[in-house]
Amino acid sequence: MKKIIFLVVSLLFSLGSFAQETKVIKDGKKVTKEQVEANKKKLQNKKKQAQKNAATAKKKQDKNGKEAKQKVAKVNNSNTKATEVKSKVKKTAAQENDDLKQTAVSKAAEKKVTDKVTGEYKGKKVFTGPKGGKYYINKNGNKTYID
């Protein structure tokens, strides 16, 4: 009889050790260890994916930044070339003086003109009036007619 009782008790303990253990969460729900481990693996996978996404986004940003820097460098190079070309073009002394003597009045007068621009004369825009007269705006902001 003692042997049977001992056998039954040992059987109960062994079955108890094979049963799934539960863990109680604050919400009052019972969750098994397997479910907790599965959730941990999912979280780890999500973290890895987020890190990969962040790394690819950073690579794209670096690539775009490099492309933008290259474009800026090209624009700067073209600007310096343009200024070099402009400096190589020689102006006469009279043209340089006219350019320097232009005032705000003459610039404002050019903006107010509604006639068509048809060419250039002494470095200034030539306008054609409604009756066909051609003129330019001088340094004082007045119309100077051309024959």
Q: Read off the pLDDT of residues 81-113 as tens digits, 9 standing for 90 and up.
A: 555 555 555 556 666 666 655 666 677 666 667
**CA-to-CA distance for 110 and 15, rounded, in angstroms?**
101
Residue 118 contacts residue 132 (beta carbons within 8 Å) = no
Give residue 56's pLDDT band: very low, low, confident or very high (50, 70, 90).
confident
- Bigger pLDDT: 102 or 57? 57
Delimit the domains of the chain by residue range. 29-89, 93-146
Closest CA to 115 of 77, 143, 82, 96: 143
pTM of the model as a whole: 0.31
Burial class (CB in 10 A: 0-12, 13-18, 19+), 125: middle
Closest CA to 109 of 133, 137, 144: 137
